[in-house]
């Protein structure tokens, strides 16, 4: 089941029923909110369902049989954006765009579009400028500010907010009967259903998250020279650490904006930390996380730059980062 985002689902159901689908959409929001799952479900409805005869459904995730049908469909392709999106990836999509369609429409999904390099971005822009038949593009991004403006301007933006804690907890309780555990995971997920499910599925992920947040606290307490010394030991684990730091600081920032209780024992520190410094730090973490996906990036230098630009150090008398 695709949890939450009822407004977005209703919007696209109306668009489908009225035959008013645009060429390109971009789903904007944090990772692990369900953007990609909804994009694939929308693509399935476009490719295989008749909006006047069939029951359109954006509530449930694709079944195994439906996923298999998508994989075998020559009118569909997706890029997951786990690595830098290169010109060869866009050429593959272009070839499919130009091929004869076996159905009424073609759909292409690119996840994490901000990871596209300049050469590939220019090639994609040309495809968007010269639409071919009933072809649709759905992109997802957690960093819309990093997308080429010329591409972004050709897309309809659809925003996804973090889910409410109650929504996530309710779904977790349909899987586990442990209410206390469901409540804790719902809070730590920061509104990201995918994070909560990963924590539930693999407790090791939760342990790693808590460990990496403790490491963040260590960096914050250290003077700048000590931060650089520590990077030589932590560099191999940097990618996972950066992702968890970003997730944690996003949680803190959201809690500040929504005036919610912050799930950290050093709550006075986080509540008093200048919100603009916190936003700037998050923006830098986002940018460095994207650069980490590029094969030619010097990850050691990136990690050193990041730890030097973390917020001012924690007070020496602060307690542990996470409350039990």
125 and 245 fall within a common domain: no
Helix ranges, 174-274 (H): 179-188, 193-201, 203-221, 224-234, 238-258, 267-272
Domain annotation covers residue 109? yes
Q: Which of 104, 139, 159 is the last residue of a domain?
A: 159
33 and 151 fall within a common domain: yes
114 and 180 fall within a common domain: no
Q: How many residues does the chain have?
A: 324
Q: How far is CA 214 from CA 6, 208, 221, 232, 233, in A?
A: 36, 10, 11, 18, 15
CATH number of the domain to which 104 belongs? 3.40.50.300
Task: Flag the least confident range among 127-136, 165-174, 297-306, 308-317.
Answer: 308-317
Domain annotation covers residue 244? yes
266 and 173 fall within a common domain: no
Q: What is the extent of the structural domain holding 307?
A: 205-324
Structural domains in the chain (count): 3
147 and 106 fall within a common domain: yes
Structure tokens at 42: 């929308």
pLDDT at position 83 is 81
Cβ atoms of 200 and 188 closer than 8 Å: no
36 and 86 fall within a common domain: yes
pLDDT at position 79 is 93
Nearest CA to 314 among 280, 269, 281, 274? 269
Residue that has been written with the tokens 């259903």 in this structure = 193
129 and 172 fall within a common domain: no
Cβ atoms of 323 and 264 closer than 8 Å: yes
Cβ atoms of 33 and 192 closer than 8 Å: yes
The H or E element that residue 72 is part of is: helix 64-72
Domain annotation covers residue 1? no
CB atoms inside a 10 Å sphere around CB 52: 8
pLDDT at position 99 is 87
Q: How far is CA 214 from the centre of its chain?
A: 23
Contacts 24+ apart (CB under 8 A), 94-98: 94/123, 94/127, 97/127, 97/132, 97/135, 98/132
Please state the rounded mean pLDDT for residues 210-229. 80
173 and 278 fall within a common domain: no
235 and 197 fall within a common domain: no
187 and 216 fall within a common domain: no
Domain annotation covers residue 285? yes
Q: Which residues of 59-98 are buried (b: 16+ CB within 10 A; e: fewer)?
A: eeebeeeeeeebeebebbbbbebeebbbbebbeebbebbe
250 and 282 fall within a common domain: yes
The H or E element that residue 139 is part of is: strand 135-141
196 and 210 fall within a common domain: no
Tell me the pLDDT of the chain averaged across its residues: 83
User: Which of 98-102, 254-258, 311-315 has the largest mean confidence?
Assistant: 98-102
Domain annotation covers residue 88? yes
pLDDT digits (tens, 9 = 90+) for 51-75: 665 677 888 888 889 999 998 898 9
């Amino acid at each position: 089941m695709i949890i939450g985002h009822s407004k977005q689902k209703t919007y696209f159901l109306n668009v489908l029923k009225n035959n008013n689908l645009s060429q390109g959409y971009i789903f904007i929001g944090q990772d692990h909110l369900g953007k990609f799952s909804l994009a694939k479900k929308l693509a399935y409805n476009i490719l295989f369902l008749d909006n006047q005869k069939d029951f359109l459904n954006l509530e449930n995730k694709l079944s195994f049989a439906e996923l298999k049908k998508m994989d075998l469909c020559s009118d569909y392709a997706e890029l997951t954006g786990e690595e830098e999106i290169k010109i060869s990836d866009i050429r593959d999509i272009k070839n499919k765009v130009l091929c004869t369609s076996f159905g009424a429409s073609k759909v292409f999904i690119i996840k994490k579009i901000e990871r596209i390099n300049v050469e590939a971005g220019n090639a994609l822009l040309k495809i968007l400028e010269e639409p071919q038949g009933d072809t649709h593009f759905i992109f997802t991004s957690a960093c819309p500010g990093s997308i080429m403006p010329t591409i972004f301007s050709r897309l309809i933006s659809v925003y996804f907010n973090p889910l409410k804690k109650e929504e996530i907890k309710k779904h977790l309780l349909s899987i586990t009967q442990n209410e206390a555990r469901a409540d804790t995971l719902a809070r730590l997920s920061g509104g990201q259903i995918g994070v909560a499910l990963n924590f539930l599925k693999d407790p090791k992920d939760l342990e790693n998250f808590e460990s990496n947040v403790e490491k963040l606290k260590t960096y914050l307490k250290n003077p700048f020279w000590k931060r650089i010394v520590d990077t030589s030991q932590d560099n191999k684990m940097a990618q996972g650490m950066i992702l968890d730091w970003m997730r944690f600081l996003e949680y803190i920032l959201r809690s500040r904006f929504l005036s919610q209780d912050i799930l950290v024992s050093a709550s006075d520190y986080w509540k008093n930390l200048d919100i603009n410094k916190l936003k700037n730090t998050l923006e830098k973490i986002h940018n460095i996380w994207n650069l980490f996906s590029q094969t030619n990036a010097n990850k050691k230098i990136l990690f050193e730059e990041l730890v030097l630009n973390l917020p001012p150090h924690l007070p020496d008398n602060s307690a542990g980062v996470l409350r039990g």
